[in-house]
Amino acid sequence: MADTIPQTCLDTRYSDPRATATDWSEAEARLAEAELFWISTVRPDGRPHVTPLPAVWSDGALHFCTGPEERKAKNLEANAHVVLTTGSNTWDKGYDLVVEGEAVRVADEDRLRVLAAAWEAKYGSFWHFEVRNGAFHHGAGAAFVFSVAPRTVFGFGKGEPFSQTRWRFT
């Protein structure tokens, strides 16, 4: 798992002269509150694959789930590197976050129960999961759960002042 206190750097090339680096605690709160993320994976032939999904921030990592036969799960078998993006869909207000890391499957059932409770607490009873056989189960379907501890996170403050903050974890 990544360090909890990353190296923080404001990139002055892409920031207003009045901008300051965003504190990691603010970025972390935004990750915890965000409802929708876009995940980018790489297909076995090298083409990108991007799709929206819900995710839960827990213990310093983003967590998402996907069916074992879905494209993103198949992509992760060959290449675990992912990017998860969240933010607002405007250019001059809001804050966007880009999380780079490696997706690691979570199969420990005690941990999965904690994550299942977090999903339901954040998204409501529609996202109620049973845990068995190292996966989430919802109706007839099963879903693998993945954890992405950030290696690098970029934050883009939009509007006055525009800013770009980078957090690096070791």
Q: What is the pLDDT of residues 96-110, one digit of tens each?
A: 999 999 999 999 999
To the nearest whole percent, how much of the chain has pLDDT over 90? 95
**pTM, entire model:** 0.95
Structure tokens, 158: 């939009």
What is the model's pLDDT at position 137? 97
Predicted local distance difference test score (pLDDT) of residue 78: 95
Note the pLDDT tens digit of each residue in 8-46: 999 999 999 999 999 999 999 999 999 999 999 999 999
The mean pLDDT of 75-92, rounded to a whole number, is 96
User: For 42-66, what is the mean pLDDT?
Assistant: 97
Written as six digits, the tokens of 72 are: 């993103």
Contact residues for 124 (Cβ-Cβ < 8 A; gap 6+): none
Rounded Cα gap, residues 150 and 28, in angstroms: 11
Domain 19-168 belongs in CATH node 3.40.50.300: no
Alpha-carbon distances, residue 23 vs 7, 56, 107, 147, 157 (angstroms): 10, 20, 32, 23, 12
Q: Which single residue is written with the structure tokens 């607002």?
A: 88
Residue 62 CA to residue 58 CA, distance in Å, equals 6
Q: How far apart are the first and last CA of the chain?
A: 9
**C-beta of residue 98 within 8 angstroms of C-beta of residue 154:** yes
Residue 79 pLDDT exceeds 80: yes
DSSP count for the chain of H helices, then E strands: 3, 11
Residue 91 DSSP label = S
Dist. CA 149–CA 67, nearest whole Å: 20
Q: How far apart are CA 22 and CA 166, in angstroms?
A: 9
User: Residue 84: enclosing H or E segment and its boundaries?
Assistant: strand 81-86
User: Residue 24 is inside which H or E element, if any?
Assistant: helix 24-33
Domain locations in the chain as residue ranges: 19-168
